[in-house]
Structure formats: C-alpha cells, structure tokens
Amino acid sequence: MAYAGKADFKDLKVLVVEDQNEARAMLRNMLGELGITQIFEASDGREAFSFVDSAFDLVNFILCDWNMPGMTGVEFLRQVRSVNMDTPFLMITGRGDMGSVTEAKSSGVTGYIKKPFSASQLEAKIRIILQRHGMDA
C-alpha cells in the first residue's frame, strides 16, 4: 500500500514497546516517516504498563514487541486488556507458529506483524487496524 499522506496519522498517539534500543529507534523513525509525531517509548512491558496505567488517555495505539525480558509482549497485552479493551494493539513478532498466533488472539491482540517488515508493511497494518476501529486513516 502506498503512503497516502502525513496528515492521515496526525491524531495517532503511539506507545512503542521494544527492549532493543536500535529496533525502538527504527520503529520511531518509521512512524515519524508516516507523519506520526506523538510517539511514546518504553523499553519493556513493566515500564510500558506503568506508563499506560498512569497516562492511558495519552495513547490511542500500541506497537509492542513479543519477546522482551521481564514481561513479554503478550503478558503486557493481557495487562492492558485487563484495564482497556479498546486500544488497538499491534504485536511485533518473529514467531509464526499457530500456537503463538492463537495465544495472541485469545489475549486480545488487534493485529500482528512478522519481522522483518518494511515501513510500507507497517503502514498497511496500521491502516487496517484503524479502519477496523473506526479511526480511519
């Protein structure tokens, strides 16, 4: 899907949860290229949940890695869903097995994207999720 314009994502407030600094910076850059300017970051699930718990209204989209120390992405997802069922949650994973997909779906994931991926693939996933949530981009 071709990038349609930066204004499309102007109201998106994204929390990026990724334990690897380089990967987090790459995600921040990809999101910035899509015109997303409100980007919050956490280096693990515990830090992310602390942020979400104290400032949930600041975020309307979560982009989270599956494999992280301390609290995995799916554990963080379950914590988020225990307090908010509506926020779109896109899981980043290197896993492709059906067991992992089923676990993520049963935990309330909105969508997932398999590593490696391009900025255009990320954009397409975000657009699909936003359309499903009536937050057309």
- pLDDT at position 118, please? 94
Which residue did the predictor score with more confidence, 134 or 2? 134
- Domain membership of residue 137 (yes or no) is no
What CATH number corresponds to the domain at position 36?
3.40.50.2300
Half-sphere exposure for 18 (CA within 13 Å, toward CB) = 21
- pLDDT at position 137, please? 54
Q: Assess whether pLDDT exceeds 60 at residue 2.
A: no
- Domain membership of residue 23 (yes or no) is yes
pLDDT in tens, 82-113: 987 789 999 998 876 677 778 888 999 999 99
Span 6-13, mean pLDDT? 79
pLDDT in tens, 29-85: 999 999 999 999 999 999 999 998 888 788 999 999 999 998 999 999 999 999 877
Q: Is the separation of the CB atoms in 92 and 98 below 8 Å?
A: no
Q: pTM for the whole thing?
A: 0.90
- Domain membership of residue 75 (yes or no) is yes
- Domain membership of residue 2 (yes or no) is no
Single-letter amino acid code for the residue at 49: F
Q: Assess whether pLDDT exceeds 90 at residue 25.
A: yes
- Full residue range of the structural domain in which residue 32 is found: 10-119+126-132
- By residue count, the chain amounts to 137
- pLDDT at position 29, please? 97
- Domain membership of residue 67 (yes or no) is yes
Structural domain total, the chain:
1
- Domain membership of residue 4 (yes or no) is no
Pair of tokens at residue 117: 């991926």
- Domain membership of residue 76 (yes or no) is yes
The sheet carrying 89-93 orders its strands as 38-42, 13-17, 61-65, 89-93, 111-114
- Domain membership of residue 5 (yes or no) is no
